[in-house]
Amino acid sequence: MRANTLIMIVLAGIFGVLAVVLVNIWLAGQRNAMASGGQASTVVVAAVPLKFGDALTADKLHEIAWPAGAVPTGAFKTVKEAMAGDGARQALQTISVNEPILASKITGAGQRATLSAVLGEGMKAVSIRVNDVLGVAGFVFPGDRVDVLLTRNVRGDDGADRSFVDVLLQSVKVLAVDQVADESKENPQVVKAVTVEVSTKDAQKLTLAAGAGQLSLALRQAAGSKGEMNERVTLADLTGDTPDDVAKRQAELDRQAAEAAARKQADEKIDGLAKAVERVGSQIDQMSKTKPVTVVAAAPQAQPQVKEVIKYVQPEPPKQATVGVFRGIKLETYEVPRQD
């Protein structure tokens, strides 16, 4: 055996012993911590598996020791405390063996396991109509989280239909599928309705959206409850068109709309002229059918004759006359008295 192999074996043994010692030290520390915290406290846990709607009885529960400083919120310390009140309590969700019985997982005394008992503070239950496709092929179960999508068709100003999809709500908790609210159900089934838990405003949105378009569900990851950035998806996104392509197509649609409007205006003018011609023709026909009326005119009255006398008056001659005299090439004019 080579020396390197022996050295590796010795080191492995040393590290193994060291690991065992450290684990024993850690376990001893945990035992001391539990002892210092006290084991006098107890917690009520399920003695048998419980599912939605199962009634709690004394034989289905038992008490186990639990550190006093680590008791879960809403836990019961004794079976008597868990069974207190008038009437039995029922499980609101699946509870495994030795899982603590919490107040949020069971109903109050005398209450039934209904959706109203499952709803959170200030939340509402709203049902959505779905089919085998829109309901994610039946793979949505109570307790899952889904996004609600709204698909709409809107007619634009140019008369063309435009389709688009919006994410209406995100991370909505499913309370029931059809009339089943048991979260332990695992077999997929085609359903007609899904009931979700939403706020009052979101309930109004769902009710309005049900009449505005088609609702569908998108199943989220079990731990994915955070909202995501989303945007509207149109038919242009399906073909991968660039903004320039969309602009060109929109310009072509605008041009076609303008031509259609011009043709409509010309047709209206032609129709107006045709109606005007038709009215004139009807008036002419009506006039042609009217019988002529004989009108007797009164005889003209004799007017007195007036004789016109024309007298010629000789104009008075001017008192001065204009005389022109050339001095070289310059013409000079003078006003001199007129001699008859």
Whether 334 shows a pLDDT value over 60: the answer reads yes
Domain chopping of the chain, boundaries: 43-113, 119-231, 239-269
Whether 246 shows a pLDDT value over 90: the answer reads no
Q: Which helix (H) or strand (E) holds 205?
A: helix 200-212
* Of residues 78 and 229, more confidently modeled: 78
Query: What band does 8 get if pLDDT is binned at 50, 70 and 90?
Result: confident
Closest CA to 85 of 65, 63, 103, 105: 103
Instruction: For domain 43-113, give the CATH number.
Output: 3.90.1210
Q: What average pLDDT does the chain have?
A: 78
* Of residues 324 and 22, more confidently modeled: 22
Which of 149-153, 218-222, 268-272 has the least mean pLDDT?
Answer: 218-222
pLDDT tens per residue, range 143-153: 888 889 988 88
Q: Are 248 and 169 in contact (CB under 8 A)?
A: no
In the chain, what percentage of residues exceed pLDDT 90?
Answer: 4
* Of residues 32 and 231, more confidently modeled: 231
Query: What band does 73 get if pLDDT is binned at 50, 70 and 90?
Result: confident
Across the range 45-67, mean pLDDT stands at: 87
Write out the DSSP string of 153-189: EEE-TTS-EEEEEEEEEEEEEEEEETTB--TT--S--
Write out the DSSP string of 21-75: HHHHHHHHHHHHHHHHH-S--EEEEESS-B-TTPBP-GGGEEEEE--GGGPPTTB
Residue 339 has which token pair?
């001699």
* Of residues 268 and 305, more confidently modeled: 268
Q: What is the pLDDT of residue 202?
A: 92
Whether 13 shows a pLDDT value over 70: the answer reads yes
Count H helices, E strands: the chain? Answer: 6, 10
The CA distance from 172 to 205, in Å, is 13
Q: What is the pLDDT of residue 5?
A: 79
Whether 292 shows a pLDDT value over 60: the answer reads no
pLDDT tens per residue, range 99-143: 998 888 888 877 776 767 777 788 898 888 887 666 676 778 888
Q: Are 198 and 172 in contact (CB under 8 A)?
A: yes
The CA distance from 56 to 40, in Å, is 25
In the chain, what percentage of residues exceed pLDDT 70?
Answer: 74
Q: What is the pLDDT of residue 199?
A: 92
Phi–psi pair at 221, nearest 5 degrees: -60, 150
pLDDT tens per residue, range 162-215: 888 888 898 888 888 876 665 555 666 667 888 889 999 999 999 998 888 888
Across the range 209-222, mean pLDDT stands at: 85
Residue 240 zone, left/alpha/beta (φ > 0; ψ -120 to 50; rest)? left
Residue 137 zone, left/alpha/beta (φ > 0; ψ -120 to 50; rest)? left
pLDDT tens per residue, range 14-26: 888 888 888 888 8
Q: What is the CA radius of gyration of the chain?
A: 53
Across the range 71-94, mean pLDDT stands at: 85
Query: What band does 53 get if pLDDT is binned at 50, 70 and 90?
Result: confident
Whether 39 shows a pLDDT value over 60: the answer reads no
Across the range 317-339, mean pLDDT stands at: 71
Q: Are 193 and 168 in contact (CB under 8 A)?
A: no
